[in-house]
Amino acid sequence: MSSLFKAKDYCVFTFVSTAHAFKAERVLKMEALEHIMIPTPREISTSCGLSIKLFPQDRERYQQLMAEKDVSLERVYHIDPQGIREL
């Protein structure tokens, strides 16, 4: 089991639509990159109920990949025990 499941310090990508969330998941799976599809945390208000959870050190690489593959991100958040920050 991935340590990402229990991570207390992570990033979340939110999406403009469910279709973009599923496209992002397909892209990440094709590249064999570690991630988890999760329900969007309640503390984050978005139009889509699905998000991608990833390690903070992977954020820039994954964001670049999303841009290259034409996946629209709504927002990017860093979540840790101190709170939630939009990046």
Q: What is the pLDDT of residues 34-66, one digit of tens each?
A: 999 999 988 886 567 899 999 999 999 999 999
Residue with more model confidence, 5 or 12: 12
* Helical spans, DSSP H, in the chain: 18-30, 59-68
Q: Measuring CA to CA, which residue among 70, 16, 15, 7 is closest to residue 35?
A: 7
- Say what angle helices 59-68 and 18-30 make with each other, to 10 degrees: 110
Condensed to tens digits (0 to 9), the pLDDT of residues 18-36 reads 999 999 999 999 999 999 9
Residue 14 has pLDDT above 60, yes or no: yes
pTM value is 0.90
- Secondary structure letter of residue 55 according to DSSP: -
For 8, the enclosing helix (H) or strand (E) is none
In this predicted structure, what is the pLDDT of residue 1?
53
